[in-house]
Amino acid sequence: EEDWVDTGDLTLEVGLVVSGRVLEEATKAGVPNATVFLANSNEAHAMIATPGRERGLVAQTDATGNFRFGNAPRQGLINLEVEAVGFASSQLQNQQLKPDGVNEYTLEVVRGQPIAGVVVDRDGKPLNGITLTASGLSAKTPQVATTASMADGTFVFESLREGPYQLV
């Protein structure tokens, strides 16, 4: 409080454009209303999480599955992750940005499968608010998802890639 530092003039650089499409893997059709996250791969000072942006910059796909970020960092490696209702999430990791080239990416998603159940104690009574994590056990299921049990002990992971998972 009452401690100010004069940093002088700040010069902001124009961010890069990162764009692309989210496609359904089976049909190659664009997926509308998907949420795409863009995060720095090494969490350097260039993109330290701002409150509300812990997962990075956010863009929505349009009716044809296209997305666009107009303010991506000018250098480094990025991770792209997509989530869409009814689909398993998908990622592209460690993508090198091209400061003088086109930064266009295609993310493919598959229809998700649910895992549901009930969390109970030793006496069979439902447990509320228990955090559950589903971790994929193969290269085809690199997904990790978290949810919590409801008042009646029920839980559901709505959309996971088909395959083996460990529930904790």
Q: Whole-number mean pLDDT of the chain?
A: 89
CA angle, 31 as apex, 131 and 47 as ends, to 5°?
60
Residue 3: the pLDDT is: 84
21-52 pLDDT, tens digit each: 999 999 999 999 999 999 988 754 444 556 66
Identify the sign of the CA torsion 27, 30, 34, 35: positive
Residues 88-110 have a mean pLDDT of 92
Q: Hey, which residues does 126 pair with through a beta bridge?
A: 120
Q: Hey, which residues does 103 pair with through a beta bridge?
A: 18
* pLDDT over threshold 80, residue 100: yes
Give the model's confidence band at 81: pLDDT under 50 very low, under 70 low, under 90 confident, else very high: very high
- Judged by DSSP in three states, 86 sits in coil
* pLDDT over threshold 70, residue 117: yes
Q: Which one of 64-68, 70-74, 109-113 scores highest in mean pLDDT?
A: 64-68
Residues 100-119 have a mean pLDDT of 93
* pLDDT over threshold 50, residue 106: yes
115 CB neighbour count, 10 Å cutoff? 17
